[in-house]
A and B are shown apart, each in its own frame.
Chain A
Amino acid sequence: MSNFTPELLAPAGSLDKLIIAVLYGANAVYLGGQKYGLRQAAENFTDQELEEGVSFAHANGAKVFVVLNSFFHDKDFDSLNIFLKKLDDYGVDAVIVSDPGVIKYISENSQLEIHLSTQASCLNVEAAKLWKKLGVTRVVLGRETSIKDAALIKKEAGLEVEMFIHGSMCMAYSGHCVISNYTQGRDSNRGGCAHSCRFEYSFDDKDLESKKSYFMSSKDLEGIRLLQDFVDFEIDSLKVEGRMKSHLYAGTISKVYREALDYYDENGDFHSDNMKHWESELRKITHRAYTQASLVEPASDDSIYDEREHEDSLYTSIGTIRDVNKDAGFLLVEVKSFFNTGDTLEVLPFKGEPFEIVASNITSVSGKELTKTKPGTLVKIPYSPFATRWNLLRKRNLQ
């Protein structure tokens, strides 16, 4: 048995999601400020939120990496220095960067540790060595890299390696898709990706006249069954995609992979009935069909998600427990999706099995009886001794 356990790195699209990811077991989170990232439409972090996020994560033993992974034009360097100074002051653990110009600038203007973003599509030993010369200490490898190749890159380049283990995937080599630039006037490499690869396409050719296909859309990555390989090959960090995704996604992913890695720490393997349980938990969050993509062999035809985007999932995210009051006998719930009086809800604890509670009685904050809830409200439901603040609630969908 190896003593090595990889870092679990979760997405934090907002301060709430950061808190949830950390409480559910992430060793580290990555997030974006208001500029320089690739999610211009996301809420992202203000400077103060960033400071608060770092403070919360560090207090809970987790690291914070900040993405500066857009590809800069020269004018984009304006005010970067001010932001870097803040990141240094807040104690950010590393920045994730794609652009060699930005790497150079950061190396010359701060003490920040630099990780190379997957956007740079680092795929081979020679490339990794080059990025090391520029000053990066870790490479987030391109999604086309296998676990075996990642281990070789780590050994021969002498760098930490980080790999995506879960989440949505670009079909293109990251950083090498500019469809949005030309069709929408939005630079995909500066955060304006319009997800044109997820649309349906028809074809003019004779043999394909009646054919329509989502031929550029990729299935989602799921690497849980390959955890043993990630450990054996000593991949330093396992990254989950999804800064734009829900609180339930951030919590579930962090919890499932944490439990699996903790199980390994205790038992030295992943071969248990728990694997089925972990997989079934990952199917309870909204996702496209899963693939292992190129983690073992180059991704084949069956990695194409030839379907329209849809929100089918086994469970609905109901909301977050925002307060627990034992004396007054209620849980205060921030409602994300509606539920009715009498519904059975599942609470996702930070550790251990999900458990059911019944919303036998729902009241508004002021105490008015409700028969059903509305998204975007706070309601009270009966107290449960095992539920705590920031626990997530979900409900099984009728099949």
Chain B
Amino acid sequence: MKSVIYYEPDLDIQEVLKLGVSDIILSTTFFSRFGKLSRKQLNEALALLNDVEINVIFEWDLLLTNEDFKRCCLEFESLDLDRVDFFRALDPGVFSYLVSRNHKVHLLLDSGPFHNLQAIQSFLELGEGLVKRIVLSIELDQEELSVICDELDVEIEYLGYGQILLFYTPRSLVKPLYDAESTDNWLEVTANSEESPHKGFPVIENIHGTFMFNPKDHYVLEHVSSLDSLGVSHIKLDNRFFKNSLLASLLCEPEQAKNDLPRKTIRGFFHKNKSDALFKKLKNHRILRRDKNYIGQVIEVEKGECVGIYLRNTLEHAKDMNLTLITPEGKEKSVVVNDVRDANGSLFKSGKYGDIIFIPHVGGVSVKTNVYYDG
């Protein structure tokens, strides 16, 4: 398994090479969401890495409106990036721009929403052979990872240790919290939601917007051998958010290193992603209609008098009907109805969608009861 880390000015490159790190990412203030390298520092880094046997990756992970995109392109074209081996993109526009300039690309899906094989294959086709690596979403579980890795013929990277980005907006949300105006381009706060027990969300605001992270970081370094067997080729350590002195232990003794980390960690969805399992509980499926033989829904119950049914289907013979009524609680009632009337009390013979009919009162039936025609 190869390792990927970020370049930091205080990083000892020789030590990094000894640790077997294969790739180093250049993360700049202008092109990266959390980059801190100035243009000068970028040039220094490129010069320093010139003779070093390591893959150099330039990160461009912003989402960009058209105006910002044009500004970025101008800046990008003014840089001397000959030493860079790969460029990584999140925005499909940036991806397309890099491909059109014949750059080798890493597609960033780690914090993005694309999680399926077909989506990735679409990008590979659009990448015209220039997509060399996919940085997969950390929302994929190991079963999904396995399927995707099996099918793809490019390098696969996965986040081994780093913060989990929950929220990304271009708007400034932290500066307005302060009474005094701030000229700071990098603000950090820790936010606690009233939605208990969610506390300790790290929040960053910088020139690219506002970002909120999970209170616990993503850590799967102890599962490197499993990831390796699944087909993951590279593991990333996001050392922009922890001390570089931890790198050696993280890479060599990941089980023990866990005890020295600045924040608690989770495996996230690595074992199983069940984030759609609760959906069936979000609504009462009993009040959903089954289409077969559906007539409509009870819209009125006047005790001892009548039940009003809102027709949501054509009713051709409103006489001597066998009806099944299914209440929102799931109780079923079967009734024979001989007397069907309209709102004026006149006999009702047939009707269409939108009409309201009234049948004699049926005990135990409430509004939102679904009505089915049984003959």
Contacts and interface: CB of A to CB of B under 8 A. Distances in A.
Interface stretch (A169-177, A341-349, A350-358): A169-177
Contact of B122 (A100, A122, A129, A191): A100
A199 B169 contact: no
A101 B123 CA distance: 9
A145 B65 contact: yes
Interface stretch (A45-53, A230-238, A250-258, A310-318): A45-53
Interface in B71-95: 91-95
B177 A124 contact: no
A192 B93 contact: no
Contacts of B91: 123-124, 127
Contact of A203 (B115, B177, B308): B177
A191 B288 CA distance: 18
B305 A365 contact: yes
A4 interface: no
Interface stretch (B43-51, B232-240, B244-252, B352-360): B352-360
A177 to B, nearest CB: 5
Given A123-B65, A123-B91, A149-B66, A178 B139 contact: yes
Interface string B291-330: 1001000011010011010101100000000000000000
Interface string A167-209: 0000111011111011111110111100011011111110110
Contacts of B290: 46
Nearest to A214: B194
Given A192-B278, A364-B302, A145 B66 contact: yes
B122 A104 contact: yes
A96 B313 CA distance: 27
A334 interface: yes
A171 B205 CA distance: 14
B344 interface: yes
Contacts of A359: none
A46 B113 CA distance: 27
Contacts of B147: 74
A171 B173 contact: yes
Interface string A363-399: 0111010000000111010000000011000000000
A122 B269 CA distance: 27
Give the most central of B93, B123, B358: most A CB within 10 Å. B93
Given A192-B275, A208-B189, A172 B176 contact: no
B164 interface: yes
Contacts of A203: 177, 189-192
A144 B312 CA distance: 40
Contacts of B119: 72, 99-102, 104
A204 B212 contact: no
Contacts of B93: 123-128, 130
Given A126-B97, A129-B96, A380-B343, A101 B114 contact: yes
Interface stretch (A24-32, A60-68, A299-307): A299-307
A164 interface: no
Contacts of A378: 299-300, 308, 343, 356
Interface in A309-333: 322-323, 325, 327-328, 330, 332
B236 to A, nearest CB: 18
Interface string A76-115: 1100000000000000000000111111110000000000
A131 interface: yes
A389 B193 CA distance: 45
Contact of A215 (B173, B288, B356): B173
Given A122-B92, A177-B168, A207 B65 contact: no
A134 interface: yes
A192 B279 contact: yes
B173 A121 contact: no
A260 interface: no
A153 interface: yes
A149 B67 contact: yes
A225 interface: no
Counting contact residues on chain A (CB < 8 A from B), the size range is 35 or more
A1 interface: no
B177 A208 contact: yes
A201 B22 CA distance: 41
B278 A186 contact: yes
Nearest to A181: B275
A211 interface: yes
A75 B174 CA distance: 39
B126 to A, nearest CB: 6
B121 interface: yes
Contacts of B121: 101, 104
Nearest to B269: A181
Contacts of A289: none
Q: Tell me which of B91, B167, B269 has the highest count of chain A C-beta atoms within 10 A of its own C-beta.
A: B167
A152 interface: yes
Contacts of A101: 114, 116-122
B278 to A, nearest CB: 5
Nearest to B193: A199
B219 to A, nearest CB: 14
B55 interface: no
Contacts of A72: 115-116, 118-119
Given A71-B114, A298-B65, A304-B173, 5 more contacts: A73-B144, A182-B166, A187-B276, A189-B113, A365-B302
23 contacts: A19-B354, A43-B283, A46-B289, A46-B290, A71-B113, A73-B144, A74-B147, A99-B114, A101-B119, A125-B69, A126-B94, A172-B169, A175-B112, A176-B167, A177-B166, A178-B165, A182-B214, A203-B190, A203-B192, A204-B189, A207-B178, A365-B302, A368-B302
Interface of A: 15, 19, 34, 40-43, 46-49, 52, 56, 71-74, 76-77, 98-105, 119-131, 133-134, 142, 144-146, 149, 152-153, 171-173, 175-179, 181-187, 189-192, 196-197, 199-205, 207-208, 211, 213, 215-216, 294, 298-301, 303-304, 322-323, 325, 327-328, 330, 332, 334, 364-366, 368, 376-378, 380, 389-390
The 5 closest A-B pairs by CB, nearest first: A101-B118, A127-B93, A101-B119, A126-B93, A187-B275
